Structure 1
């Protein structure tokens, strides 16, 4: 008799299939979003405009981990204020002249372009058979850019952004491919707005001894001399070449989030505080800065270069520690 690897067993009745994560697409046009929910209740929502993660709930769906402005534009009229906007191919204001990104707006075009939902992953390593994780893929290509963005950055590329929801974590990883004949340089950042209860009780660890550029202090360079970063006013710092992978957010001395970088060496810590929060028309409520802190992983100190056919991949895993 042939030895068939999958022949039926006469001894054990087949077990019932485990429940699977549910994936739904809702809305129309620029307001379209993809929602994935695990059998245990955890969920993630991704707006196709910008491939922006706008919600991530853990603890059986009871705990929202991302801050989203009450006035965030979710209709494709502008970049989303909150969640996890995707910054590419330039971070901050572009170089004034002489660079391929010089004609682009601040933070580039990825967060203001409509992405394509490529589907729920069916690979065994991405989707746990028990339904305890699910991976969603989104794509943006040069052919899908607006005419304005294509004119400003006429280079051939492909982006695949993977969002993986697990019971206690969320992974967001971006793959950048050069699909043209010409090499190009880029920066990327995941502009994560973490939701906390009280900014006065928050500390951020894992940055001791790291050099940073302080944009509040005229872009001067400093070295982190305290074991923990605390926030008592406007903070806008770019920490570069961080040796360890994990930056931790504590609240009232207790671990709240671990932000684990994957092949990315930089992290931005940002909180607008009182005056800047009031000055931003889409930041609401004005006191919302007390309930959020941005810990943003990226590659923004200098440029990543890709030659024809080359691929760069980097991202993060955020662990909710409640």
Structure 2
């Protein structure tokens, strides 16, 4: 199955392949040679490369690619919860399920499809899912790669239930970085955050930029819609633009926690940083028939 973009750009392509476990993956390519790879295991973006072939996302060398394990790296989708609460597994079940290609996606505006390579995926709850989280929903995900190499993810979650439900959500994005001690995040200054290393105690960010010298696990609340991650050594900046996602998760496990995790190398924490568009502090509540949209656009800016 292959699609192409508009008539002017016959080389924006979508190709479906299989991974070594026989799970479908979708490869998006733009006319300049940038690419993104999306697995139907979790609806998860596993790779995002520049036109020069540089990988922009981190995936652990010890990642497990066999369901129901979640893949450590790329962009896992955390739904219907972020974190660990109640009977649901950590970060919810969406990242562990096999999604399907949505053959009849509802129309999005032209900007979300024009000249882009894109794929529409769909997740509906199974009978097993309804036992652990008794809410009927349709989760539609569009992943698109634009001519400029920007990666956009649009999630639309509709309540097709007879009663309202609430959820939290995050695009748990693992950026590939040169070295954790060389990066800084801007756009979080003066924000309140909940510190997961201090029982979710609330603090206010004092610094002009966030830098790293130990484990960080925070939810920044009600942030602006643009966050930037500066990587001095690689001379590049990741820009995260988000809509419908008020919060930002910032996470790096550091050395001790990495050594306790089976699916990450002991030293790999140095080369990854999670910065997520999220909705956590105030869960999203949908009445029957209502739909929520959360959008993130990732771009990379090279500096001289």
Q: TM-score, normalised by structure 1?
A: 0.85
Is the contact between residue 184 and residue 306 of structure 1 (CA under 8 Å) also seen in structure 2? yes
Q: How many residues align?
A: 291
Give yes or no for contact 2:12–2:117 (8 Å, CA) kept in 1.
yes
Instruction: After superposition, give the CA deviation of every residue in 1:276-297 in whole Å (9 maximum; x if it has no partner).
Output: 111110012x211111100011
2:264 is the counterpart of 1:272: no
* 1:62-141 alignment runs, 5 A limit: 62-94=53-85, 102-118=86-102, 124-129=110-115, 133-141=116-124
Q: Which whole-Å CA distance do the structure 1 matches of 2:56 and 2:133 have between them?
A: 34
- Equivalent residue, structure 2, for 1:22: 13
Q: Structure 1 residues 141 and 268, CA, compared in 2 at 3 Å: closer, same or farther?
A: same
Alpha-carbon distance between aligned partners in 1 of 2:124 and 2:242, rounded to the nearest angstrom: 25
* Cross-structure match for 1:48: 40
Q: For 2:277 and 2:8, locate their aligned partners in 1 and report how far apart those are by CA, in whole Å.
A: 38
Distance 1:203 1:260, change over 3 A: same
Residue 53 of structure 1 contacts residue 85 of structure 1 at CA under 8 Å; is this kept in 2? Answer: yes
3-state SS of the aligned residue for 1:182? coil
Q: Secondary structure at the match of 1:290?
A: helix
How big is the alpha-carbon RMSD for the aligned residues of Structure 1 and Structure 2?
2.0
Equivalence for 1:251:
231
Deviation, 1:164, is 1.2
Deviations 1:92-146 (A, max 9, x none): 011xxxxxxx3211111100111011259897543434xxx2221110012xx2x
Instruction: Give the one of 156, 164, 176 matched to 2:157.
Output: 176
Q: Contact 1:34 / 1:45 at 8 angstroms: preserved in 2?
A: yes
Shift of 1:19: 2.1
Instruction: List runs of 5+ in structure 2 lacking aligned partners.
Output: 1-6
Q: Which piece of structure 1 moves more, 120-129 or 106-115?
A: 120-129
